[in-house]
Structure 1
């Protein structure tokens, strides 16, 4: 198995899609966007009954694992989110009471087993911004499926991502980590704004 050049991660509203497309061009990589496979309509079933949370989360984990292994074999992709942030959602659902302790522990065992079979990316770019800005962006784009989740959900997810980012910044040794605060990023002057990020990423890959 090869090694994925770049993974871009961050919660909804931090600007992943915009930056991934820009960085792909500058780094001469192809974009592999976050893939969504739900052949059994588990997301819809979960929205009606939380008992479907466990199979839904396992399905998403395997989807991200397959996507990552494909990207690893090709070594030409930049990924918009990846398997590495999947436990953020599992932990959140566990705290919501939608996963039992046994289900959550089984999930973690499965996740850790999968991690033993893959290489970390050469470079991981973490996007952050304030919660207020995340909510502003979610409200501005007005997607019904996001808006109906409510502010409490987004706050819980934001806190979970904050812990995730902190853990990566403190513990990750295999990948080069670059953190970007997208709060005040000037998209009209993005080449200059990201010049240092592109330089560091090129050195890593």
Structure 2
């Protein structure tokens, strides 16, 4: 494992990844890495017509996330500066497998593996998940115009894809602890005690991680 904490938060659209990452970054004084979303010029068109705009959308995300993580590795992790991120680049395949046609998916996979083969993995993952009803409410509340055309069926399937992805990630990387948080039960934005409960669980893993790396 790396010698410095690198925590990534994952989960479907609208579950609260950035909100939690921001609060945890403030609490622990870790550098905050936020993914580029609204800056993607293809995203609005993607939600209107997935088949037509999926490849452009996924390639934009892949290239930007690669650049962000490359900067994080050299400017923070290699300098022993802890990082908390509201995503990890490995989740790109969740969306690509769901949205790309076979011929374009094959091309995307080749590019993805070339770019990410030496990218740093997080040494702790927080997985936020919630019911479709909760996700739709939160998307509506935050009011991003580009997200107003998200189809509930797409969001429901995406949530299932995330469950599969996290199970596979856990099997592939048993050394990386995964903290699973039910967004229907925990509202860390409204209730400070819910945030405290999450922090307490993270503290247990951070303490164990620190002791392991001291030995």
TM-score strictly above 0.5: yes
| Structure 1 residue ranges, 4+ long, deviating more than 4 angstroms after superposition | 1-4, 44-49
Contact 1:91 1:104 (C-alpha < 8 Å) held by counterparts: yes
Contact 1:27 1:202 (C-alpha < 8 Å) held by counterparts: no
Deviation at 1:4, TM superposition (A): 6.5
> How many residues end up aligned between the 2 structures?
198
Deviation at 1:25, TM superposition (A): 2.5
Contact 1:6 1:77 (C-alpha < 8 Å) held by counterparts: yes
Aligned-CA RMSD value: 2.6
Q: 1:59 maps to which residue?
A: 60
Q: 1:87 maps to which residue?
A: 93
| In the alignment, structure 1 residue 198 sits paired with structure 2 residue 203 | yes
Contact 2:129 2:159 (C-alpha < 8 Å) held by counterparts: no
Q: 1:144 maps to which residue?
A: 145
- Partners of 1:115 and 1:4 lie apart in 2 by 20
- Partners of 2:22 and 2:178 lie apart in 1 by 19
Q: 1:177 maps to which residue?
A: 178
Q: 2:42 maps to which residue?
A: 42
Q: 1:106 to 1:142 in 2, by over 3 A?
A: same
- Partners of 1:141 and 1:34 lie apart in 2 by 16
| Higher deviation after alignment, 80-89 or 149-158 | 149-158
Q: 1:60 to 1:177 in 2, by over 3 A?
A: same
Q: 2:26 maps to which residue?
A: 25
Normalising to structure 2: TM-score of the pair? 0.79
Contact 1:23 1:198 (C-alpha < 8 Å) held by counterparts: no
Unaligned stretches of 5+ in structure 2? 211-215
Q: 2:73 maps to which residue?
A: 72
Unaligned stretches of 5+ in structure 1? 95-99
- Post-superposition CA distance 1:3-26 (Å, at most 9, x none): 761111111222212211222133
- Partners of 1:201 and 1:181 lie apart in 2 by 21
SS at 1:121's partner residue? coil
Normalising to structure 1: TM-score of the pair? 0.82
